[in-house]
Structure 1
Amino acid sequence: MAEQAEQRAPRPAGTVISLARVDADMVPEVGGKAANLGVLLSAGMPVPPGFCVTTAAYGRVAAAAGVQPSEPAEQIRGRLASAPLPEDITEAILTAYAGLGEDTPVAVRSSATAEDLPEASFAGQLDTYLNVVGPDLLLDAIRRCWASLWTDRAVAYRADHGIGQHSISIAVVVQEMVDADVAGVMFTANPLTGRRREIVIDAAPGLGEALVSGAVNPDQFTVDAATGEILQRSLGDKRTEIRPAPGGGTRLLRRQDRDRQDGGRQDGRRACLTDEQVRSLARIGTLAEELYGEPQDLEWAIAPDGGIRVVQSRPITTLFPLPEPDNHDGGARAYLCASLLQGLTRPLTPMGLASFALMSDSSRPAGNGPAAYRSAQIGMRMFVDVTSLLRSKGGRRGLLRAMKVADARSVDVLAYLGADPRFALTRAPKLGSLKSGLRAAPPFGLLRQVLRALVNPVAALERVSAADHELDRMLVLPEPVSGARRLDFVERLLTKEITPAVMRVLPPAAAGYVWLGLGRLLLGRLAPGGELQAVLRGLPHNVTTEMDLELWRTASSIRDDPESVRALTAEEPRVLAGRYADGTLPAACQAALRAFLARYGHRAVAEIDLGVPRWGEDPAHIINALANYLKLADPELAPDRVFRRAAENAEAKAAELAARAARSRGRLFGKLVAHSLRRARATAGMREYPKFRLIVAFAVLRRQLQLVGEELADAGRIQVPDDVFFLDLTEARVGLRGADLRGPVAERRQSYQREMRRRRIPRLLLSDGTDVEAAMAATQAASSAGGRLQPGTLAGAPASAGTVTGKARVILDPAGAHLEPGEILVAPSTDPGWTPLFMTAGALVMEMGGPISHGAVVAREYGIPAVVGVFEATTRIRTGDTVTVDGAAGTVVLDLSCASDGGR
C-alpha cells in the first residue's frame, strides 16, 4: 500500500538517484541519456551500474550561483564551473559514489532534458569525462558537465532545432568505467543509406572516445539483423587508441607504442572483433530497437572479461521516415519524390498535401488505374509509387525517358535500382500491358488539342485565353457564405475543376516542345553539344520571365527615388514588409510595390503548397530581391538588356542552324528546320503557364481556407487562423462542428518544423527505408567508380550552355538570401519563387533537375550557364569557393588552390 501511495504522489525532487530506479517517464528529472539507460537496465541489458545527479541539483546550484537567463552563455559557463555545491548535494553524490567502491573509476556524462530524444540527439554537443577517479575530480567533472550546457556549440544546436535556451535543464550520469579492450558505436539501421534492419557497427581498440572524436579509422561491419549474416566488413588502420591513464583521465597511444607494450601482438590489419562478437553486438542492437520501437544509435564497450556493456542508446534522428506499409503484394516498393521534381526540398503543410491527394485522386483513371498512379505522403512530402513502372519493360523505358528531361540525376538512380532483383522486369499479358499503356497515356482529347496547336499556334493561344476566362469564372464564390460552403467550394475545385482547367492551357507548350524535338531529329549531328539549347533563350510568353522583368522594372522605377533607395538599402526586408502593410513606405516605393503585387502577389516560394503565405501577404522576399537589384551597377548586365540579347542570339542561332541544314541537305530541308525552330520558339515559352494558372487558383483557395481558419480561431477550435493549414478538409469540417483541434495542430507544427530542418531528401525511397541515391553513391565510393573525373570536378547534366568562373554562393532557402551580381548560385532545387535571384546570378548549379526543369528553362532564357543534377552540390561546394561552370559539358570544377573556408 505504501508503494502504491508513493507512485500516486508527486515524485520528490531528489538530487541523486540510482540508474536502477530510473524509468522512461523521468526525462524532466534525469535527462534523455539517463532515462534511456534506466530503460535498458530494467530490460536486463548489460549496462554498467551507476547513478544520476538530477536536474534538481543543477537547478539549485545554478540559482545559488546567480545564473540569470539573460546572461551571455560564456558568463553562465564561468559561474557553473566554479560554483560551490550545497553540502547536502555533495553528501548525496559522494555517498552514491562510495556505493560503487572506493575510488572507483567512473565515466561522467551530461544528460540534458532535450537530449537523446526522437526530435534531437544532441550527439557530441555536451561534455563527457572518462576515467574520473576520486571525490574531488568527480565533483569537478559534474560542474563541468553542467557548464557544457552553455557552450557555443550547444547553444547554436538548440537555436537550430528550435529548442528554447532556458527551457532546458541538465542532469549528470555517473557510471562505473569500462576499461575496454574494444569499443565503438552501433546503428540498428544503416545511417548512410537509411535501410532498416541493416546494422552497422564501428569498432576500434581501447575506449570509444577515439572513435567518437574521429581520432581513429575504425573497423566497420554491416550485419543483416534478420539472419545475423555479416554482409560487409571494412578494416581500418586503427593507428591510435585511447586508454585510461593511471590515476585518472585518458591518454592517446600510437599503434607503435601499443605494439611495444604488448610485445608486437597488435596487428592493425586484423579485425578487432571476432565474427561471434559482431553477431552478439547485433543481437543486442536488435533487442534495443525492439525495446524502444525505433532504430537506435548505441555506444558499447567490451570489458577485459569479454562481456559486452552498453553505455548509451538513443534514437537515430536523421533517418528519413518509412512509407506507410503497403502489403498488397508483399514485395518491396519504390517511391519517387514528386516534391523534389517540383523544386521543393522543404515539407508541405498537411493542407497542401491533402490538396494534391485530392487532385491526384481526381485525375486517376476509373477503377483506380495502374499502381503507378498511387501517391504517398512520406516525411510530409509528395511521393509517387513507381514500383509497377519499374517492373514493366515499357513502363521503365517511359519513366527513364521522362526523367531524362525532368531530373537527369534520377536516370542514373533508377538505372541502379533496375539491377535489384526485387524490381526485376515481370512478364505481363499483352492485353493487360495494352490496357495499362492506354490508361497511362494522355487523354485523347488532350492529344487532339496538341495536334491542333502544332498546326495553328496562334489559334491555340486564343484557346488558352478563353480557358483563362472560364477558370476565372469558376474561382468566384458569391458572398456571404458559410464556412462549410467555403470548404465545399475548395473541395469541388480540387477534385473536379482545377486539373481539367490546367490541362486546357497545356497544348501550346507541348506543341512547342514537339516542334523542338522535330528540329533536333532533323538536324541530328548538324547541331552537336548544347547548340540547340541556345534556340530556347529569350522565349516569348514565359510568365515567370515576364514576372522577373517586371520586378526589374519596379526596381528601376524605385532607383529614381532617393528616399526609396535609402529605405531599401538601410532597413531589413521584414521591417519594410511591415511598413508596406501599414502603408508607410516612401510613396514611390509603396506605389511601385503595390503595382507589382497586384499582378504577381499570388506567387510565393514553395507556392504549390496551399499553406505557404503568398507574396501579397508577406512581401519580404520581393523587397529583398529589389534591394539586391539596386546593387546592379553595370547597365549591360541589366536583366531587360540581357533578355533582349538572349532573344536576338536565339533567333540568330535558329537562322544559323537552318542555313547549316540547307547547305548540308538542301534548301527544302533547311526551310523545314527553320519552320520547326520558329514554331518551337512561338509556344515553348508557355511551359510555365499551366503552373502559373494553377497558382492563381491556389491563391483563391488559400483565401477561402483563411476565412475558414478565422471562423475556427474565433470559436477557439484552433489558436490562429493559419492553423487551418495544418488540418485537412475533413478535419476542418469537424472543427466547424465543434471539435477542439488545437492538440493535433500543435503536434503537426512540431513535425513540420522538424522536417524543415531536414536537408537530405531521397530522390528514390524504398519501403525498407533505403535512399537509393545514397546507396548508389556508397557502392561507387567502395568500388572507386567515378575516378575518371579530375579532382575537384563535379558532374551533372548540361542545362544551359556557356562557361563562367566566379565565386559560389550556396543558398538553401531564397527567403532573405543575398546574392551579389555575378555570383554563382548553388541550390538544392528551384521553383518560380527563386527566379528573382537568377537575374543577377552568373551561373546556376542545382542538385535536382533536367533539361526542361524549371531552373534549367529560366537559366536558358536569361542566358546564364547552368548544370543540374549535381549530387550533393550544396555540401561539396561552399560559399566563397571559386568554381567554373560549364553548362554545355555539364561539369562544375572547383579551384582547389583557393578553396574558401566560408560557410564551412
Structure 2
Amino acid sequence: MLVSLSSYAKADKVGNKAQSLMKLRNNGFCVPDGFVLDSDTYDEVIRESGLAGKINELSSKINKDNIRTISSEIIKLFDKIDLTHDVISEISKLLQIKKYAVRSSGLKEDLAGFAFAGQYRTFLNVEGIDDICKSIIGCYKSMYTEGVLSYLIDNGLGVSDMKMAVVVQEMVEADISGIAFTVNPLSGNDKEIVVEVAEGLGEEIVSGKVNPECYLYNWFDDKEVYEKTNKLLTREKFLKLAKKALDIQMLYGFPCDIEFAVKDNEIYFVQARAITKIMYSGIKDQWTTADFKDGGVSANVCTPYMWSLYEFIWEYTLKKFVFDSKILNKSEWRKAGDMFFGRPYWNLSVVKTAMSKVPGYKEREFDNDLGVMPTYEGDGNVTKITPKTLLGILRMAIAQKKIVADRSKNAQKLKTELLDKYFNYINSFKNEEKLDDLEFIWYKLVKEDYLLSESTYFWQIFINTVNQSLFKDNLLKFVSSGEYFNLIGGLDNISHLLPFYYMWDISRKIIADKKAYAFWSDSKVSVIKKAYDENSNENYIPKLAEFINLYGYHSEKELDVTYPCYCEDVESVIKMFKETVALDDSLSPESDRKHQVEVFEKQKQKLKEQLGKKKYLKVEKSIVKMRSMLWWREEFRDISTRFYYIIRIFTMKLSKAYVKSGILSCEDDIWYTKIEDVFEFIDRKITQEDLRNIIARNRKYYQSFQNFLSENEIGAAFNIASIKGKKMSGGIKGIGCNNGTVTGPARVINSLAEIDRLQVGDILVTRFTDTGWTSKFAILKGIVTEYGGILCHAAIVSREYGIPCVVCTNDATKLIKDGSTITINGTTGEITVEKE
C-alpha cells in the first residue's frame, strides 16, 4: 500500500522515519512531498518472490561468527526480487518528471535509544520508474547488511521479522544542507542548538566527508556564537533555522536530531528523530535526581513553578545544615540544585563532599541507599578516623549531636506550630480578598511559612541521612541486612498510611451493611458523587465526606502542585473506596501492620538474647532513636504535603485574580513562572510584560522535554548511556529493601493512568511509586521499581505492608514483560524471570 506523506499512518506500517516526516508535514513544517511504500508492500513483494522461507531460514542461523556470510547470502537473494506489477503501476501514477530521494524507513529504525543512524540506505537524485524500483529493492537489501545485522545483535534487538517501509520523496537540489541538534550533544547544554552546514547535499555531512561550518544558539538566553570563518548562513537565516528547530523540539517533546536542506532561501526538513546519545562534558559536577525522582519533582518533566518551590528550600536548607553541622565551610559550597532537560537535579558532588566528612562514610553504601549510579570500583571514597581528620570529625560530631538533640526536643512543638499555621490558612481560604491582600497572603505563605514547613522536613531528611549511615554500620555488626530491615519496619501510625487504614475501616463497615454494600458495589462513581454533592446521610456518604475533610490535602501526585488534590478530585477517592470495598479481609493493611510489629519485636528479642542485657540496652537505645527519626521524617512529610496543598489553592486563587486583572492570559500561566518571578512582580521589580516574556520562554523549555526522560545521573564523570539492568543467572539485580521471596505475575505499569490494571496477587513493576498509589499496596505480592533507595516511598510502605520490595532495578520495565511470571527476593534484590 502506498501512503501519502500528507496523510498519517502508524509507525508499525511505515516506520518511525516516515511517520516523523508525516508529523512534520501535517504540523506546518516544510517537508518535500512524496509517498511511502508501507511494510505490507514489503510483505507482498517478498511473498510474491517465493523467497520468504529462505530469508527466514538464513536469518534464524545468524550469530556473531557468521554475520558476514549470512548477510552476503541474503543480499544475493534480493537480486532475484522485483516489485509486483501492481506496486509498479501505483508508483508510476504518482511520479512526475523530476528527481527523487528514496529513503529506507525500517520498522526497527529510530527506536528509543537506537537510532540506526547511517545504517540503512538512501538513494539520491533518482529518476524514472526503473531506477526508483531498483532503489526500493536497494533499501530492502540494506536491512541485511553486515553493519545492520551486527548492530541488531550487539544491542539485543533480534533479527527476526525484519520489515521495511520506503519513502519516495521529491529531491531538493540543495544550495546548502545540514544537521541541527536541539541540545548540545557534547556539552549537555539543554538550551543550546547546534547547527552544522555545508554546501550541497547533507549526505556529505552525515558521512563525515566534509568539514561543516558550526553555529551555536542559546535560545533561552538569546545568544548566538559564530565562527569568524562562517559564511554559509547569515545571522537572520541561522536564527530562523534555529527557531524552527526549537519548534520541532517542542512538537516532539524531546531533543531532536534534524536533517535539513536549504534551496532558494526555503528551509526543507527531511528527517527528525530523537538524539540517542548526549554527552555531559560541559557539566563538571555530578548531578542526580535521587529522592527527587521517587514520585517527586523529577519523576517527569517539572513545571518551573514546582521546581522553584523545591529549589528555594534546597538551596537554603542544605547550605544551612552543612554549615551549622560544621561539615563544610563556605569556600566548599557550590550551587546545590539545578534544572537539566526539564527535570530537577541536586549536586551530588557537593553532598558527597559533605558526607565524606562523616566517620564511617562509604561512597558505595551511600549510592546504594539512594539508588545512584556508581562511577568507581569497590567502595569508592571511604572516610576513616585519622589524627589529621579527628579534630574536624569531633567538631562535626558535637554540632550534629546538638542538632539531633534540639530536633528531638522541639519536634512536637514544631509540628504543633506548623499545623496551627496550616489550619489558619484553611480557615481563611473562603474569604474574598482584594488583589493586594491576596498578594500579601501568598507572599507570606511561600516566603515564610512554606520555608519553615519544608525546611523542617528537609532538615529531618538530612539528620536521618547522616545518622542512618552511622546507625546502620553499628547495627550490621550484630545483624544481617535482612534483620536490619526488620528493625526499621513496623513503625506505628505512619502519617501517610493513616488515610488508607481509615478507608479500610470504613470499607469493612460498608460490607457489613447490606444496603450500603449494594450501593457502593453496584453504583457508578457519578451516582456516588451525586450523593456526596447532595450531602446524603445514607450509605456511609458522611464517612466519605469526613475522609475528604481529614485527608483531602493528599493527591495522586503529591509533589506536583499543578495536580488536583483529593478534595478537588472526589471521584478518584470514590473509586479508591469502591476498590477497597471489593477486597476481602485477607488483604487487611491492619493485619499487615500488626505482623510487621510482631516481626520487629521478635527481632529485638533475638538481638537481646544474642548480646546480653547490658550490651543490648545500649543498642536498643540507638534503635529507638533511629526509628523515632524515621517516624518524624514521615510526620514532617505529611505536614509538607499539607503546605503544598495550601500553596496550590492560594496560587490558583492568585492566578485567577491576575487573569481577571489582565496580568496573565490564562490561569495556568502561573505554573510557568518561578516563585522568585512572582516575588519580583509583587515587589514591582519587573513589569507585566517582563512576566509574560518569562512565561513564554519557560513554556517553550517545558514543552521541549515533556516526552523526554533524561539520565538519572548526569555530569562528565557519568557514562552517557543508561546502565542496563544486570542479568545474572537469568535474573535481574536491584537493591533489596524488605525481606521475603515471592513468585507471581509481573504487572508492568508505566504511568498512573495504568494503575487500574493491577490485580490481587500481582507484583508491581514500575519506574517509581507515589504516595497516591498506597491504596494499591494491600493487593500486591511484591514491588519492583527502577528508581529509589532503601528509604524511598515504595521501600517504606512495603515494609509496613510486609511485602518484598526491590528498588533501583535499572530498566526493569523494559527487561520484564507484562504478565510474565517472576520471582523477587526482597533481601538480596535478585529478580528471576520464571516464564514469559
TM-score normalised according to structure 1 size = 0.61
- Alpha carbons of structure 1 residues 407 and 174: separation in structure 2 relative to 1, 3 Å: farther
What whole-Å deviation, never above 9, does each CA across 1:614-663 have from its counterpart, x for those lacking one? 11111333333223222322x2321111111211221122111221222x
Report what 2:721 is aligned to. Answer: 774
The question of 1:548 aligning with 2:548 is answered no
Report what 1:877 is aligned to. Answer: 816
Q: Return the letter of the residue paired with 1:315.
A: A
Shift of 1:747: 8.1
Q: Return the letter of the residue paired with 1:529.
A: S
- Alpha carbons of structure 1 residues 739 and 215: separation in structure 2 relative to 1, 3 Å: same
In 2, Cα distance between the equivalents of 1:437 and 1:489?
44
Contact 1:371-1:386 at 8 Å conserved across structures: no
- Alpha carbons of structure 1 residues 134 and 889: separation in structure 2 relative to 1, 3 Å: closer
The question of 1:640 aligning with 2:603 is answered no
SS at structure 2 position matched to 1:895: strand
SS at structure 2 position matched to 1:885: strand
Contact 1:221-1:278 at 8 Å conserved across structures: no
Contact 2:786-2:813 at 8 Å conserved across structures: yes
Q: Return the letter of the residue paired with 2:492.
A: P
In 1, Cα distance between the equivalents of 2:786 and 2:802?
20
Contact 1:726-1:748 at 8 Å conserved across structures: yes
Shift of 1:351: 1.7
| 857-866 vs 877-886, which moves further | 877-886
Report what 2:748 is aligned to. Answer: 810
Shift of 1:886: 0.6
The question of 1:415 aligning with 2:376 is answered yes
Report what 1:451 is aligned to. Answer: 405
Q: Return the letter of the residue paired with 1:651.
A: E
Taking the TM superposition and a 5 Å limit, the aligned residue runs for 1:598-613 are 598-613=549-564
Report what 2:803 is aligned to. Answer: 864
Shift of 1:697: 1.4
Query: 689, 693, 711: which one pairs with 1:762?
Result: 711
In 2, Cα distance between the equivalents of 1:507 and 1:729?
21
In 2, Cα distance between the equivalents of 1:489 and 1:142?
71
Report what 1:629 is aligned to. Answer: 580
In 2, Cα distance between the equivalents of 1:109 and 1:510?
48
Report what 2:307 is aligned to. Answer: 353
Q: Return the letter of the residue paired with 1:893.
A: T
Report what 2:144 is aligned to. Answer: 216
- Alpha carbons of structure 1 residues 812 and 555: separation in structure 2 relative to 1, 3 Å: farther
- Alpha carbons of structure 1 residues 549 and 332: separation in structure 2 relative to 1, 3 Å: same
What whole-Å deviation, never above 9, does each CA across 1:371-422 have from its counterpart, x for those lacking one? 54332122332112445667899489969368436423x143x438999xxx
Query: 660, 672, 679: which one pairs with 1:714?
Result: 660
Give the fraction of aligned pairs with identical amino acids, expressed as a percent: 16
Contact 1:390-1:418 at 8 Å conserved across structures: no
The question of 1:281 aligning with 2:210 is answered no
SS at structure 2 position matched to 1:588: coil
Shift of 1:282: 2.9
Over aligned residues, Cα RMSD in angstroms? 5.7
SS at structure 2 position matched to 1:817: helix
Shift of 1:798: 0.8
Contact 2:553-2:642 at 8 Å conserved across structures: yes
The question of 1:796 aligning with 2:734 is answered yes
TM-score normalised according to structure 2 size = 0.65
In 2, Cα distance between the equivalents of 1:212 and 1:561?
67
SS at structure 2 position matched to 1:848: coil
In 2, Cα distance between the equivalents of 1:882 and 1:179?
45
What whole-Å deviation, never above 9, does each CA across 1:217-256 have from its counterpart, x for those lacking one? 652799xxxxxxxxxx9999999999999xxxxxxxxxxx
The question of 1:202 aligning with 2:119 is answered yes
Query: 825, 828, 838: which one pairs with 2:764?
Result: 825
Report what 1:30 is aligned to. Answer: none
Contact 2:107-2:163 at 8 Å conserved across structures: no
In 1, Cα distance between the equivalents of 2:785 and 2:641?
23
Taking the TM superposition and a 5 Å limit, the aligned residue runs for 1:612-691 are 612-633=563-584, 635-662=585-612, 667-691=613-637
SS at structure 2 position matched to 1:373: coil
Contact 2:806-2:829 at 8 Å conserved across structures: yes
Contact 2:824-2:832 at 8 Å conserved across structures: yes
| 811-820 vs 689-698, which moves further | 811-820
Shift of 1:859: 0.8
In 2, Cα distance between the equivalents of 1:236 and 1:839?
37
Query: 332, 337, 340: which one pairs with 1:378?
Result: 340
SS at structure 1 position matched to 2:642: helix
Contact 1:807-1:881 at 8 Å conserved across structures: yes
Shift of 1:884: 0.8
- Alpha carbons of structure 1 residues 53 and 851: separation in structure 2 relative to 1, 3 Å: closer
Q: Return the letter of the residue paired with 2:558.
A: E
SS at structure 1 position matched to 2:561: coil
In 2, Cα distance between the equivalents of 1:109 and 1:816?
26
Q: Return the letter of the residue paired with 2:741.
A: T
In 1, Cα distance between the equivalents of 2:160 and 2:463?
64
Contact 1:320-1:761 at 8 Å conserved across structures: no
Taking the TM superposition and a 5 Å limit, the aligned residue runs for 1:80-95 are none
Contact 1:800-1:887 at 8 Å conserved across structures: yes
SS at structure 2 position matched to 1:804: strand
The question of 1:112 aligning with 2:19 is answered no
Report what 1:316 is aligned to. Answer: 273
Report what 2:486 is aligned to. Answer: 534
Contact 2:21-2:270 at 8 Å conserved across structures: no
| Residue segments in structure 1 that go unaligned for 5+ positions in a row | 1-51, 60-72, 75-106, 146-171, 223-232, 246-276, 301-309, 781-785, 900-904
The question of 1:340 aligning with 2:301 is answered no
What whole-Å deviation, never above 9, does each CA across 1:39-79 have from its counterpart, x for those lacking one? xxxxxxxxxxxxx9896xx89xxxxxxxxxxxxx99xxxxx
Report what 1:140 is aligned to. Answer: 90
The question of 1:404 aligning with 2:367 is answered yes
Shift of 1:867: 0.4
- Alpha carbons of structure 1 residues 567 and 585: separation in structure 2 relative to 1, 3 Å: farther
Q: Return the letter of the residue paired with 2:775.
A: P
What whole-Å deviation, never above 9, does each CA across 1:785-843 have from its counterpart, x for those lacking one? x56x112x010001011011111112223356222122111121123122111122111
In 2, Cα distance between the equivalents of 1:731 and 1:743?
11
In 2, Cα distance between the equivalents of 1:702 and 1:851?
30
Contact 2:746-2:765 at 8 Å conserved across structures: yes
Corresponding residue pairs, total: 674
In 2, Cα distance between the equivalents of 1:638 and 1:239?
47
The question of 1:700 aligning with 2:646 is answered yes
In 1, Cα distance between the equivalents of 2:332 and 2:113?
32
SS at structure 1 position matched to 2:823: strand
What whole-Å deviation, never above 9, does each CA across 1:338-385 have from its counterpart, x for those lacking one? 531554522222321222233334334599875543321223321124
In 2, Cα distance between the equivalents of 1:438 and 1:499?
30
Report what 1:47 is aligned to. Answer: none
The question of 1:889 aligning with 2:828 is answered yes
| Residue segments in structure 2 that go unaligned for 5+ positions in a row | 11-16, 46-81, 123-133, 167-202, 217-237, 246-254, 261-266, 324-328
What whole-Å deviation, never above 9, does each CA across 1:829-866 have from its counterpart, x for those lacking one? 12312211112211111101111122111111111100
In 1, Cα distance between the equivalents of 2:258 and 2:108?
5
Shift of 1:677: 3.0
- Alpha carbons of structure 1 residues 710 and 393: separation in structure 2 relative to 1, 3 Å: closer
What whole-Å deviation, never above 9, does each CA across 1:431-474 have from its counterpart, x for those lacking one? 9x9999999x8995x75241356xxx6x5553344443564478
- Alpha carbons of structure 1 residues 210 and 623: separation in structure 2 relative to 1, 3 Å: farther
In 2, Cα distance between the equivalents of 1:387 and 1:877?
33
Shift of 1:286: 6.1
Q: Return the letter of the residue paired with 2:299.
A: T
Q: Return the letter of the residue paired with 1:659.
A: E
